[in-house]
Amino acid sequence: MVQLMKITASALLLTFLLSASPTDAQEQGQATLRVPLNFGSATTVHLGSGVYTFTRQGARNIFIVTDDGVIATDPISPETAEVYMAEIRKVTDKPVKYLVYSHQHWDHVRGGQIFKDAGASVVSHQACIQYFHRDPNPEVVNPDITFEGPRYDVTLGGKTLELHHFGRNHGDCLVVMRIPEINAIFLVDLVTPYGVSGGSGLINDFYPTDWIRSLKQIEAMDFDYMIGGHGPPKAPPWAITERREYLEALMAAVKAELDKGTPAAETGAAINLPKFQHLRNYKRLMPLNAERFRTFYILGW
């Protein structure tokens, strides 16, 4: 029996912002940044049409309930996966048939054994396999189903989760998941809405030019809002554009400082991007983002 899930005050505020016009939402962006994120307790929000988003300890995933079972995504960690499974069981007693990985990083894909033991098939892009074999982790379950190419659909009970692969960006096996039933995308790590890139600012696991290319391709997709692997349960499409424009502006600024001969230790402090100063952690993390791009221009990756 489906249990109605309580939406937190933060989710209600974000839903209100999304109901406003893009201009109004952008003007209220500063207020959105001040909504506290709960890194301890778990929260499940029903987004409509049997699609739910679950978050715990700062990481987020989605699951889809169908007539024939459940499509789950990123287990996050063994401890969180147990809570995640319990939250799914509050909504439905139908079996979890699929567990889909967004990419290879351990902060999203550890803990899948509980789903495997329940009979789920684990799905990822083929390019993830090299990482799982090169650096095996006993808490990461290897995929049962892999795919190559730009698109793969996981279909169950008349519902579909589209997996879109844009090549390398954040690593080279990340998939963007589109949920047609609610016309939304689940976008992990490429964009954390309303903030500066990277929890620590060290974005050395990104390919800068391919990141920007991928964001342009994602912007061209058909969707009404995004669900991030971190951050709020919903964010408008312009959050993706804002991230791309920030990256482009910062790369250009770093290149200008290199051309002027600015010493490495002074590059971050020399850059000022007024258009993006409202972003969460701008002051603290922008100089670290700048260092990653300086390395890109020196080493070519």
Provide the token pair at 291: 């260092």
Q: Could you give the C-alpha distances from 138 to 182, 192, 282, in angstroms and in order?
A: 35, 28, 36
d(C-alpha 215, C-alpha 222), whole Å: 13
Provide the pLDDT for residue 21: 34
> pLDDT in tens for each of the 301 residues of the chain?
434 333 333 333 333 333 333 333 343 333 333 333 444 589 999 999 999 999 999 999 999 999 999 999 999 999 999 999 999 999 999 999 999 999 999 999 999 999 999 999 999 999 999 999 998 999 999 999 999 999 999 999 999 999 999 999 999 999 999 999 999 999 999 999 999 988 788 898 999 999 999 999 999 999 999 999 999 999 999 999 999 999 999 999 999 999 999 999 999 999 999 999 999 999 999 999 999 999 999 999 8
Residue 14's H or E segment, with its range, is helix 9-19
Query: Which domains, from first to last, does the chain contain?
Result: 9-299 (3.60.15.10)
Provide the token pair at 172: 């080279």
d(C-alpha 141, C-alpha 114), whole Å: 10
Amino acid at 25: A
Judge whether 293 and 208 are in contact, CB under 8 Å. yes
User: What pTM, to 2 d.p., does this model score?
Assistant: 0.87
End-to-end CA distance of the chain: 51
Provide the pLDDT for residue 36: 37
Provide the pLDDT for residue 40: 57
- Largest Cα–Cα distance of the chain, in whole Å? 65
Half-sphere exposure of 57 (CA within 13 A, CB side): 11
